[in-house]
Structure 1
Amino acid sequence: MRTNAQSQIFMLGTSLDSPGGMTSVVRTLRDGGLFDAWCVEYIETYKVRRAITQLRVMSVALWRLVTALAANRVSLVHAHSASRGSFWRKSLLCALARLFGVPYLFHLHSGEFPVFYQEECNPVAKWWVRLTLRKASLVISLTESWRALLCAIEPTIRVVVVGNPVEVPIKLPTMRDPAINVLFLGRLREKKGVFDLVRALPAVLRQCPQLRFVLAGDEGEKEVLSLATALGVESAIHLPGWVDGEPKAALLREADLFVLPSYFEGLPVGLLEAMALGIPIVSCVVGGIPDLIEDGKHGLLVQPGDTTALAAAIVHLARHAPLRQSLRVAAHERVRSTYALPTLIAALGDLYAQLGCPKRAESNFGGDIRR
């Protein structure tokens, strides 16, 4: 690897104004100082779903990376990847880095990656997946359980665990009683369990008629409302669409319970944010969630698709204030000790240093960094 004095870390990911947990992670790292401290230049590889726009975005990404590689300006490529199209885009750009002898980190965020590999990839695609992971200097997994799954795909890869970062308040807000507002954050898709949540509402509302459900997300508003209307629970739900920034923060501040009944997850950002604020959790035994939440200690976990158990867990939490209090305190401490933003920025910085990237000198912080 040959780099000059102005070499930088080039980070690859979705447009930072796009919705989604992976984007939220990158914005949190940027705002927490990682980009400034380590001379990170960000290249967006995906913006919108229109083919012509996406072709332009990817063409610009290829041009920016190739010209930087040719000028010996790249010390490391840090690729944030999900599954499917996200993986193919990042793997192509990482292959370019390999051609120039530049190391790369492959940072996997998708809870569906093993399914993508096992069920959607033909033999040639599987070979490419394994090659991409094997040639990475390091593969970043979000949890310990996902490390094992990735090593099952390619046993020779070097995997490190770095969780998703979250800003954690020093002091918990006061818990409200009775519980009224139940929050769901995420895309309104079947795989996120939002339709299971709506199907559980008749049983929940028979026992806790005061509860109101905010289902904040995009893509399936009409379908969710249609199902809620058919079940006679439409008056108990609110669909604000996708929220981010201050609107999302406001919903979290108002929430008394947080529900995420997904079928697939990596390490959900919304779940971490809710735990950091001490919002009692109901979620599912999928992906990295059991690494984060011990059932009965940090939250309540049910099997995905079990609407009876989901309804019972919501009712149990809503009716038992002492349980909500114990769960919220334990959840806050869990994320404070393991997922706090400064801790995870330091962990990534250690990886950058191990791979030979120079940290930016404090005296040079006024310089120009392109992002």
Structure 2
Amino acid sequence: MLMKAITDGNRIAAQNAATVRHYVPGGCENGGGIGRLVGYISNTAKEAGATHLVTDTRGPRWSVATSPARLLGAILVMAKDRIVAPARIHHIHIAGRGSTSRKLLLTEAARLLGCAHILHLHDYDYASDFATRSPRQQMLIRRMFQHADQVVALGQRDRMTLTTLLGVDERRTAVIRNCVPDPGTHNVQAGERPLIVFLGRLSERKGVHELLLALSHPIMKGLQWRAVLAGDGPVEDYRRQAAALRLSDVVDMPGWLDAAAAQALCARADILVLPSHAEGMAMAVIEGLAHGLAVVTTRVGAHDEVISDGETGVFVPVGDKDALAAALAKLVTDPEIRSYLSAQGRAHYLNHFSMKAYMRSLDKLYEAVSGQPQTMVGAR
């Protein structure tokens, strides 16, 4: 009996040592940029001797039928945590559309159970998504955000959405911009054709159609370059578009790459391009800065808070294929500009976007939440 008590005590102590559980649509493997970020957080915490658990609330995008079961499983995990690890903080990652519908249920469970929980907003335009909801849904969404212990935004625009549109107390909001692990110094391959990379879901919102038009633009004809457009989505459709534009020999679309493969691709690249129509704070932009790539992107989301045009990256107007082609052509043909942007972007990453700084921000957030009393609804 004594040995069993000691074993049970050790088990509970180990469970309580994992002070944070993340809830991610798709988990680390199928959660897109959110999943990749949480994977980085989990791995960094592990290296420091801590444990951040991860629970999938949706499953893969293509597995719609299993999504309700995943969500129910996440709620049951939360309920179990409330018993075996009552001090655990539940870090809930949320976007618009179906993600919000799932998180309305998950956060209500957290409220009823008395779980300390954080809402972390990752969305390219949550205000617009909110505007499409019914008055009842809007009321529920406002209540969801207002009842969270803390709410994280990726930039000041989203923080304004939280405080003005959703009514969240500004004192319970924090801006924590996405980060990536340090991949090390970028080694330029002198004499090789510049490699242009795109990382993200292949879609209209990410500007892939304009990117293909820019790559087939007359100004790019005759220049020496290669491009890899890596991401999930309707890959075959975009491959057909590339073939119709006679780009198949210079543009590769390998599909979604895991974190290791994406890092390997960036390690041999020169230019990171992301001509998005809307973003929160794109992981790909931070990846580009970290790897010392010349970053070409658009003034959307928090990008303007991160990139200085002509210093740490290059901005082009949304949907402007001609401006995008001109920017890419200039970088392809001018190694000195590429080198300057590389050095400035890499220094900017080291100064502001290291995982060490990111984890310090999270620890401060968790300390604030831990200091707030939590009680189950109806408890006396």
TM-score computed with the length of structure 1 as normaliser: 0.88
The answer to whether the 8 Å contact 2:219/2:325 transfers is no
Residue in 1 that maps onto 2:111 = 98
After superposition, where does 1:329-368 map in structure 2 within 5 Å?
Answer: 329-356=343-370
8 Å Cα contact 1:35-1:41 kept in structure 2: no
The answer on whether the counterparts of 1:188 and 1:217 sit within 8 Å (CA) in structure 2 is yes
The Cα of 1:169 is off from its aligned counterpart by: 4.3
Q: Please state how far the C-alpha of 1:206 moved relative to its aligned partner.
A: 4.0
1:42 aligns with 2:54: yes
Q: Which amino acid aligns with 2:127?
A: P
On the 8 A contact 1:46/1:57 being kept in 2, the answer is yes
Residues 326, 208 of structure 1: alpha-carbon distance in 2 compared, 3 angstrom cutoff: farther
Q: Deviation at 1:152?
A: 2.6
User: Structure 1 residues 131, 204: closer, same or farther in 2, change over 3 A?
Assistant: farther
Deviation at 1:67, TM superposition (A): 2.9
The count of residues paired between Structure 1 and Structure 2 equals 354
How much does 1:134 deviate? 1.1
The structure-2 alpha-carbon separation of the partners of 1:169 and 1:186, relative to structure 1 and needing over 3 Å to count, comes to closer
Give the 5 Å matches for 1:44-59. Answer: 44-48=56-60, 49-59=62-72
Give the superposition deviation at 1:150: 2.5
Structure 1 residue 290 displacement after superposition = 1.1
Correspondence for 2:90: 77
Structure 1 Cα separation of the partners of residues 282 and 301 of structure 2: 9
Higher relative contact order (CA 8 A, sep 6+): 1
Contact 2:29 2:258 in 1 (8 A): no
1:170-221 CA distances to partner (integer Å, 9 max, x unpaired)? 5342364565211111111111111110011222664453111111112222
Q: CA deviation at 1:85?
A: 1.2
Amino acid across the alignment from 2:82: L
1:216-255 to 2 correspondences below 5 Å? 216-255=230-269
Residue 40 of structure 2 corresponds to residue 11 of structure 1: no
Farther off after superposition, 206-215 or 287-296: 206-215
Q: What is the CA–CA distance in structure 2 between the aligned matches of 1:272 and 1:10, rounded to whole Å?
A: 24
Which secondary structure does the structure 2 equivalent of 1:174 belong to? coil
Please state if 1:171 is matched with 2:197: no
Per-residue CA deviations over 1:33-66 (Å, capped at 9, x if unaligned) read 1697555332211112323322221221121112
Residue ranges of structure 2 left out of the alignment (5+ in a row): 1-11, 373-380
What aligned pairs does 1:108-119 form with structure 2 within 5 A after superposition?
Answer: 108-118=121-131
Equivalents in 2 of 1:38, 1:92: separation in Å? 29
- Of stretches 88-97 and 162-171 in structure 1, the one that deviates more from structure 2 is 162-171
Aligned to 2:154: 142
Cα RMSD for the two superposed structures: 2.3
Rate the CA distance shift 1:264–1:206 in 2: closer, same or farther, 3 A: closer
Distance 1:208 1:353, change over 3 A: farther
Q: Does 1:188 align with 2:202?
A: yes
Residue of structure 2 in register with 1:291 after alignment:
305
Deviates more, 1:70-79 or 1:124-133: 70-79
1:267 CA displacement:
1.3
One-letter code of the match for 1:134?
Q
CA displacement at 1:137 relative to structure 2: 1.4
1:276 matches 2:290: yes
Are positions 1:61 and 2:69 aligned together?
no
**Given residue 12 of structure 1, which amino acid in structure 2 is its aligned partner?**
Y
CA distance 1:255–1:59, shift in 2 (3 Å): same
Change (3 A) 1:19 1:58: closer
C-alpha distance in structure 2 between counterparts of 1:177 and 1:146, whole Å = 43
TM-score calculated relative to the size of structure 2: 0.86
Match of 2:8 in 1: none
Distance 2:248 2:352 in 1: 39
Mean Cα deviation higher: 286-295 or 172-181 = 172-181
Of 151-160 and 185-194, the range deviating more from structure 2: 151-160
- 1:328-369: CA deviations, max 9, x gaps? 1111111111110011111101111122279xxxxxxxxxxx
Cα pair 1:69 1:97 within 8 Å, conserved: no
CA change 1:344–1:208 in 2 (3 A) is farther
Between the aligned partners of 2:270 and 2:293, the Cα distance in structure 1 is: 6
> Which residue of 154, 175, 178 corresponds with 2:166?
154
Find 2:143's aligned residue among 131, 152, 159.
131
In structure 1, what residue type is equivalent to 2:144?
T
1:202, 1:11 → 2: CA distance? 42
For residues 260-302 of structure 1, give each alpha carbon's deviation from its aligned partner in whole angstroms, at most 9, with x where no partner exists: 0111111111221111111101111111111111111111111
Aligned residue for 1:182, secondary structure, equals strand
Aligned to 1:58, what secondary structure does the other structure show? helix
Q: Distance in 2 between matches of 1:35 and 1:246?
A: 17
Higher mean C-alpha displacement, 134-143 vs 88-97: 88-97
- Secondary structure of 1:183's counterpart equals strand
Give the secondary structure class of the aligned counterpart of 1:234: coil
Structure 1 unmatched runs, 5+:
359-371
Distance in 1, matches of 2:44 and 2:134, equals 40
Task: Answer yes or no: is the 8 Å Cα contact 1:178–1:318 preserved in 2.
Answer: no
